Amino acid sequence: MAEASATKRPPATGEGRDRPIRVMVVDDSQLMRWLLTRWIGEAPGLELAGMASSGQEALATIARRRPDIVLLDLEMPDIGGLEVLPKLIKACPSAKVLVVSALSKAAAGIALDALAMGAKDYIGKPDASVKSWGGQDFRIALLKRIEALCRPAEFPAPRSMPVSRPERMAVMPGLAANPPTNVVRHPFSMVVPRVIGVGSSTGGPEALLRFLPSLVSAIRRAPVLIAQHMPAEFTRALAIRLSAATGLPSKEGEDGEEIRAGQIYLAPGDRHMTLVSSPNPVIAISDAPPVRYYRPSVDLLFESLVQVYGPAVLGVILTGMGADGAEGAGAIARTGGSVIVQDQASSVVWGMPGAAANAGYAAAIGNPEHLAEIAAGLFEMERP
């Protein structure tokens, strides 16, 4: 069924791929295996590489089946997901692992551990109700993640916010030169940042843990506000990890909370976080509808920072699928602020940073550690 369905129409191609994406399902739930294999069989461009009902079975077959992606449950009876994950990666290094597991506050830390151990992304199973399993939201989100991880796309510049006059980016004194790239660069701001806004999605937790610890001295001078696309159950666990990694206070932002330098504020999962001035900058948390499919919205966060801080905004876009943040990056760039984005080589998915870079809004492109070096340099530069 799966192999036949893959020939319904030619699969999308990307990075030279001219064959279906081979998907392996590892889950002890018979219902879950049935649903996932059915959806894989019905999806053009996908084919079933195999199924396993236990970690042992997955380890015994993955090298022979050679999947492009493994859908891995973390709760299994013989070998737990965290134990089997590195073994699967070792047995088939080319396969990407997408964690498909129940979401809860207790499971959030385990899922973040899985990302640290090499899983590329995670998606939560619906609850056990018949209505949720029969709905389409989970299926659509799952297939989008598979496509994004295995066929990363390049995103065009946002049409509603055209790029201003292209300029060559001058390498600023004390900053390392950027990796070569053929995208147009926007100049750095001539204003020392007073706030750092960060947007991230797929692969974002690990990118944040690579970026923020090297930026502690700068964060002591300016608050950090982060919009990371993730479920509500995860953001508190991520905030705890960011605090441990940086030694700085890190927490979910609260409505009406006045922001302070030296602190990291994370948008609560599935809620918008923006900044308002009344008269001092305070956080606003909202359950308003998603903006361009996303909540929290990086675009909304960045645009609100511009309203409060003008050109003294440093916008950072890390790995993630989609194009959220590109519109907000345009607002920062046109107002005279600085935007730096993660490069394609170090991104799990070069969607969000690629959209901003291709629009011409980025002053620098690099891996998270390089971006931290550049950001720290912006705080040390003497301005006229």
Q: What is the spatial distance between Cα 141 and Cα 124, in angstroms, rounded to a whole number?
A: 10
Q: How far apart are CA 231 and CA 270, in angstroms?
A: 6
Q: In terms of Cα–Cα distance, which of 286, 186, 139, 145 is closest to 227? A: 286
Cα–Cα distance for residue pair 280/303, rounded to 1 Å:
17
CB 74 within 8 A of CB 82: yes
Question: Do 182 and 358 touch, CB atoms closer than 8 A?
Answer: no
Q: Is residue 201 flagged as an active site residue?
A: yes
Distance between CA atoms of 220 and 281, rounded to whole angstroms?
17
- Where would I find the beta strands (DSSP E) of 126-256? 195-200, 224-228, 250-252
**Sheet strands (E) in 41-181:** 46-52, 69-72, 96-102, 121-125
The DSSP call for residue 7 is T
Catalytic residue among 5, 53, 201, 250: 201
User: Choosing from 27, 68, 121, 229, which is the catalytic residue?
Assistant: 229
- From 324, 343, 346, 347, active-site residue: 324
Q: Letter for the amino acid at 221?
A: R
- Report the C-alpha gap between 45 and 20 in whole angstroms: 5
DSSP, res 19: S
Whether the Cβ atoms of residue 237 and residue 108 lie closer than 8 Å to each other: yes
Question: Across the chain, how many H-helices and E-strands are there?
Answer: 14, 14
Phi, psi of 87 (to 5 degrees): -70, -40
Q: What are phi and psi of 316, to 5 degrees?
A: -125, 125
**Contact present, 327 and 161 (Cβ < 8 Å):** yes
Closest CA to 97 of 120, 63, 123: 120
229 is catalytic: yes
Question: Which residues are marked as active site?
Answer: 201, 229, 324
